[in-house]
Amino acid sequence: MKFKNTVVLGAAVAGLLATGYAVAQDQFIGLPSYRVGPYASGGSGIYGGWIDYMALVNERDGGVNGVKLTWEECETEYNNARGVECYERLKSKGASGNSVFQPLSTGITYSVLDRVAQDKIPMVTIGYGRTDAADGRVFPWVFPMITTYWSQNTAKIKFIGMKEGGMDKLKGKKIVNIYHDSAYGKETIPVLDVQAKKYGFNVIHIPVAHPGNEQQSQWLRVRQEKPDWVILRGWGVMNPTAIRTAARTGFPRDKIVGVWWSGAEEDTVPAGDAAKGYIAAGFNVAGANFPVIKDIQSNVYAKNKGNMEDKSRVGSVYYNRGVVHGIITVEAIRTAQEKYGKGKPLTGEQMRWGFENLRIDNARLKALGAEGFMPELKVTCEDHEGSGKVKFQQWDGTKWTVITDWIDGDKSIVRPMIEESAAAYAKEKGITPRDCSKES
Amino acid sequence: MLYREAGQFKASYQEDQQIFTIRQDRIGFWAILAVFFLAVPLLANSYWLQAILIPVLIFSLAAIGLNILTGYAGQLSLGSAAFMAVGAFGAYNFMLRIDGMPFLVGIVLGGLSAAAVGIVFGLPSLRIKGFYLAVATLAAQFFIVWALVKFPWFSNYSSSGVITAQRIEILGFAFDTPVTKYLLTLAIVCALALVAKNMVRSSTGRAWMAVRDMDVAAEVIGIRLLHTKLQAFAVSSFYCGVAGALYAYTYLGTVEPEGFNLDLSFKILFMIIIGGVGSMMGSFLGAAFIVLLPIFLNIAMHSTLGGAIPASFASNLELIIFGGLIIFFLIVEPHGLARLWQIGKEKMRLWPFPH
- How large is the ipTM? 0.86
Q: Does B161 reach chain A within 8 Å, measured CB to CB?
A: yes
Answer whether B295 sits within 8 Å of A17, measured CB to CB.
Answer: no
Question: What secondary structure does DSSP assign to B284-304, as a single string?
Answer: HHHHHHHHHHHHHHHIIIIII
Q: Does B340 reach chain A within 8 Å, measured CB to CB?
A: no
Residue in chain B nearest A30 by alpha carbon: B303
CA A152 – CA A414 distance, rounded (Å): 10
Q: What is the pLDDT of residue B117?
A: 96
CB-nearest to B149 from A17, A84, A182 is: A182
Contacts with A79 from chain B: Cβ below 8 Å: 263
CA A30 – CA A91 distance, rounded (Å): 7
CB-nearest to B254 from A13, A113, A190 is: A113
> How far is B136 from chain A, CA to nearest CA, in Å?
19
Domains of chain A: 25-147+287-378 (3.40.50.2300), 149-282+392-413 (3.40.50.2300)
**pLDDT per position as a tens digit, A417-426:** 999 989 988 9
> How far is A111 from chain B, CA to nearest CA, in Å?
5
Question: How many other CB atoms are found less than 10 A from the CB of residue A60?
Answer: 13
- Would you tell me which residues 87-146 of chain B have a C-beta closer than 8 angstroms to some C-beta of chain A? 96, 146
Q: Does A404 reach chain B within 8 Å, measured CB to CB?
A: no
Task: Report DSSP state, residue B51.
Answer: I
Residue in chain A nearest B53 by alpha carbon: A85
> How far is B224 from chain A, CA to nearest CA, in Å?
39
Q: What is the mean pLDDT of chain A?
A: 88
B31-63 as b/e: b if 16+ CB within 10 A: eeeeebeeebbeebebbbbbbbbbbbbbbbbbb
Residue in chain A nearest B259 by alpha carbon: A80
Q: What is the CA radius of gyration of chain A?
A: 22
Answer whether B300 sits within 8 Å of A16, measured CB to CB.
Answer: yes
Does residue A20 register a pLDDT over 70? no
Question: In what helix (H) or strand (E) does residue B318 lie, and over which residues does it extend?
Answer: helix B311-332
Q: What is the pLDDT of residue A306?
A: 87
Task: Report DSSP state, residue A311.
Answer: G
Contacts with B299 from chain A: Cβ below 8 Å: 13, 16-17, 89
> How far is B50 from chain A, CA to nearest CA, in Å?
8
Average pLDDT, integer, range A306-321: 90
Contacts with A72 from chain B: Cβ below 8 Å: 302-303, 306
What lies within 8 Å, CB to CB, of A301 at 6+ separation is A52, A311, A314
Answer whether A36 sits within 8 Å of B319, measured CB to CB.
Answer: yes
The bridge status of strand B163-164 relative to strand A407-408 is: unpaired
Q: Does A76 reach chain B within 8 Å, measured CB to CB?
A: no
Average pLDDT, integer, range B112-121: 96
**pLDDT per position as a tens digit, A193-228:** 999 999 999 999 999 987 888 899 999 999 999 999
Does residue B194 register a pLDDT over 90? yes
The bridge status of strand A359-360 relative to strand A377-378 is: antiparallel
Average pLDDT, integer, range B252-276: 91
Q: Does A218 reach chain B within 8 Å, measured CB to CB?
A: no
B274-303 as b/e: b if 16+ CB within 10 A: bbbbbbbbbbbbbbbbbbebbbbbbbbbbb
Answer whether A190 sits within 8 Å of B295, measured CB to CB.
Answer: no
Does residue B306 register a pLDDT over 70? no
Task: Report DSSP state, residue A372.
Answer: T
Confidence band for A440, pLDDT divided at 50, 70 and 90: low
Answer whether B303 sits within 8 Å of A88, measured CB to CB.
Answer: no
Residue in chain B nearest A422 by alpha carbon: B158
Answer whether A111 sits within 8 Å of B318, measured CB to CB.
Answer: no
Q: Does B244 reach chain A within 8 Å, measured CB to CB?
A: no
**pLDDT per position as a tens digit, B341-355:** 899 888 888 877 766
Q: What is the pLDDT of residue B87?
A: 97
Q: Determine which of A111, A119, A188, A304 to mutate to test the interface with B (most B C-beta atoms within 10 Å).
A: A111
- Would you tell me which residues 240-279 of chain A have a C-beta closer than 8 angstroms to some C-beta of chain B? none
Residue in chain B nearest A33 by alpha carbon: B311
Question: How many other CB atoms are found less than 10 A from the CB of residue B220?
Answer: 10
Average pLDDT, integer, range B275-300: 92
Q: Determine which of A28, A51, A89, A418 to mutate to test the interface with B (most B C-beta atoms within 10 Å).
A: A89
Q: Does A363 reach chain B within 8 Å, measured CB to CB?
A: no
Confidence band for A6, pLDDT divided at 50, 70 and 90: very low
**pLDDT per position as a tens digit, B10-27:** 889 988 888 888 888 899
Does residue A14 register a pLDDT over 80? no
CA B339 – CA B335 distance, rounded (Å): 6
CA distance to A196, A298, B66, B332, B337, per residue, from B329 (Å): 58, 49, 20, 5, 8
Q: Does B43 reach chain A within 8 Å, measured CB to CB?
A: no
Question: How many other CB atoms are found less than 10 A from the CB of residue B196?
Answer: 22
* Least trusted range by pLDDT, from A45-49, A149-153, A184-188, B122-126: A184-188
State the Cα angle at B116 between B135 and B277, rounded to 5°: 50
8 A C-beta contact, residue B133 and residue B70: no
Does residue A75 register a pLDDT over 70? yes
User: Does residue A235 or residue A356 have the better pLDDT?
Assistant: A356
Q: Which residues pair with A407 in a beta bridge?
A: A390
8 A C-beta contact, residue A53 and residue A45: no
Does residue A10 register a pLDDT over 60? no
> How far is A84 from chain B, CA to nearest CA, in Å?
7
Q: Determine which of B92, B303, B348 to mutate to test the interface with A (most A C-beta atoms within 10 Å).
A: B303
CA A231 – CA A194 distance, rounded (Å): 16
**pLDDT per position as a tens digit, A272-287:** 899 999 999 999 999 9
Q: What is the pLDDT of residue A9?
A: 47
Confidence band for A24, pLDDT divided at 50, 70 and 90: low
Q: What is the pLDDT of residue A17?
A: 46
Q: What is the pLDDT of residue B307?
A: 64
Helices B178-201 & B203-213, crossing angle to 10 degrees? 70
Does residue B236 register a pLDDT over 50? yes
CA distance to A113, A125, A353, A394, per residue, from A122 (Å): 10, 10, 9, 34
Average pLDDT, integer, range A319-330: 95
